[in-house]
Structure 1
Amino acid sequence: MTVTRKRVDEHIEVVTVDAPPVNALTVAGWFDLADAVRAAGADPGVHVVVLRAEGRGFNAGVDIKEIQASSGYEALVGANRGCYAAFGAVYDCAVPVIAAVHGHCLGGGIGLVGNADVVVASDDASFGVPEVERGALGAATHLARLVPPHLMRTLYFTARTVTAAELQGFGSVYRVVPGSELDEAALDVARSIAAKDTRVIRAAKEALNGIDPQDVHRSYRFEQGFTFELNLLGASDEARQSFLDEKGS
């Protein structure tokens, strides 16, 4: 299965993504991830969720091959709705979500991490939004939660990445550890949260979302509208196909 759930300790739920080779999720994969996170938060026995991945990196965004292989816009609409559902599930999860990031965290991965409550990363982790090179827009909403405004714009326009160490300097990554210690570092934070009264923590999560200065749902949906325009103009299809051709797919 692409997305699995496992109870670790008494009150910690670990959601793992495993979609070789790079954890680029299909439409179904995004919805499965949304369902897993949502279900974990709805379980009264869960006090905190850890979101992690197997393989070469945390997340490489949407499965471009699936979109290119689809006639019309069905796969594109599905991918956008799936990302919206997964990002929203993380943000709206009734309990804190800790993202444990290794390797690449790109596009949709930024949407997940930007909406998480705590980010722990391995020292090989890199973060970026290459959307402009794929003929799309999106996740600037979530990148803006990780870096200052002007850096966000620079990263967005250039499609460059930043390291976990750089994000730690901005305070958006809580800890940076060797890859072999990543899972334990995430669980260490999770255990600290799980030990608190879950009634208070759940209220705190809802309260923090309620005072958030940015409406992430509306903001991200606004971005997606431009992606659809670019697809209607043909720019997105050309960019995606160029990317696949360069990769030899």
Structure 2
Amino acid sequence: MGITVRGGPIAEVVVDVPPVNALPVQGWFDLASAVLTAGRDPATRVVVLRAEGRGFNAGVDIKEMQRTAGFEALVGANRGCYAAFAAVYECEVPVLAAVHGHCLGGGIGLVGNADIVVASEDAYFGLPEVDRGALGAATHLARLVPQHLMRAMVYTCRNVTAAELHHHGSVLEVVPRDKLRDAAFEVAGRIADKDPYVLRRAKESLNGIDPVDVRRSYRFEQGLTYELNLMGAGDRHRDAFVGRPPEIVPTTDKPEEAG
């Protein structure tokens, strides 16, 4: 369990963090390291990013955040997500995300920065951030859906299906759940057949002409998440999510809200 890497021309990075692949702080940094390391390997031509278990990714581990005194886990989760999303984007070779089940919150950040997305028929995508007293990954959702649908999804926390994203062109293929890995590797194989030097320059080229600086855009969103936490909205909504009343958790020097 955790983050595992299988090397080769088609490198495979697999997330397995039961029960729902909600990653703790260290998990985001481990994922970032795994993707970047796979991309730096001269033998790698494409990276397949996928998950085991009930779904692809459920975002940050809110329970970890709420049981940690002070703001250390909040800051860690934000920095970890920033690192993992950037790793997918900056990986030296194309990254193919193979998505099944839920892809929520931080999962959108990963998939929105991937080069190609293949999904199973049961996959669904969404940003529940507003319901959690947070913001973020609208930058990446905007790479998956049109502008007005993105805004509706942020405001209402509505999910969309793999079939809907296939209609918009952001999911390349939708396949039965038991065929997902095979489908991902079939597409990855077509990429791996190409000249590896040309592939790496192609990735560099496509990032270079990107109209949005995804790192700066996402960091702006995170700044407003910090504001929500300073104003108490973050804790209030996260406490409701984990099913316990808000409380003051002492640090080593003075009382502060957990967060």
Aligned-partner Cα distance in 1 for 2:187–2:48? 10
Aligned-partner Cα distance in 2 for 1:232–1:36? 33
**2:60 — aligned with what?**
62
How far the C-alpha of 1:113 sits from its partner, in A, is: 0.1
- Answering whether residue 99 of structure 2 is matched by residue 101 of structure 1, we say yes
**1:165 — aligned with what?**
163
**1:18 — aligned with what?**
16
Q: How does 1:178-189 map to 2 (within 5 A)?
A: 178-189=176-187
How far the C-alpha of 1:244 sits from its partner, in A, is: 1.0
* Residue segments in structure 2 that go unaligned for 5+ positions in a row: 245-259
SS at match of 1:75: helix
**How many correspondences in the alignment?**
244
SS at match of 2:243: helix
Aligned-partner Cα distance in 2 for 1:198–1:214? 26
**2:195 — aligned with what?**
197
SS at match of 1:89: helix
SS at match of 1:119: strand
How far the C-alpha of 1:231 sits from its partner, in A, is: 0.3
Moved more, 10-19 or 111-120: 10-19
**2:251 — aligned with what?**
none
Aligned-partner Cα distance in 2 for 1:75–1:121? 31
Return the match for 1:46 from 38, 44, 47. 44
TM-score (normalised: structure 1):
0.97
Q: What letter corresponds to residue 17 of structure 1 in structure 2? A: V
Aligned-partner Cα distance in 1 for 2:243–2:9? 46
How far the C-alpha of 1:71 sits from its partner, in A, is: 0.9
Aligned-partner Cα distance in 1 for 2:41–2:71? 36
- Answering whether residue 4 of structure 2 is matched by residue 4 of structure 1, we say yes
Aligned-partner Cα distance in 1 for 2:53–2:117? 18
Return the match for 1:177 from 157, 161, 175. 175
SS at match of 1:190: helix
**Structure of higher CA gyration radius:** 2
1:159-207: CA deviations, max 9, x gaps? 0100000000000000000000000000001000000001001000000
Q: What letter corresponds to residue 175 of structure 1 in structure 2? A: E
**1:218 — aligned with what?**
216
SS at match of 1:208: helix
1:204-238: CA deviations, max 9, x gaps? 00000000010000000000000000000000001
**1:84 — aligned with what?**
82
1:63-99: CA deviations, max 9, x gaps? 0000000111000000000000000000000000000
SS at match of 1:228: helix
Q: How does 1:224-239 map to 2 (within 5 A)?
A: 224-239=222-237
Aligned-partner Cα distance in 1 for 2:216–2:153? 22
* Residue segments in structure 1 that go unaligned for 5+ positions in a row: none
Aligned-partner Cα distance in 2 for 1:236–1:135? 4
Aligned-partner Cα distance in 2 for 1:57–1:202? 30
Task: Give the RMSD, CA atoms, in angstroms.
Answer: 0.7
Aligned-partner Cα distance in 1 for 2:186–2:154? 33
Q: What letter corresponds to residue 87 of structure 1 in structure 2? A: F
1:89-131: CA deviations, max 9, x gaps? 0000000000000000000000000000000000000000000
Q: How does 1:116-155 map to 2 (within 5 A)?
A: 116-155=114-153
TM-score (normalised: structure 2):
0.93
**1:242 — aligned with what?**
240
Aligned-partner Cα distance in 2 for 1:106–1:49? 21
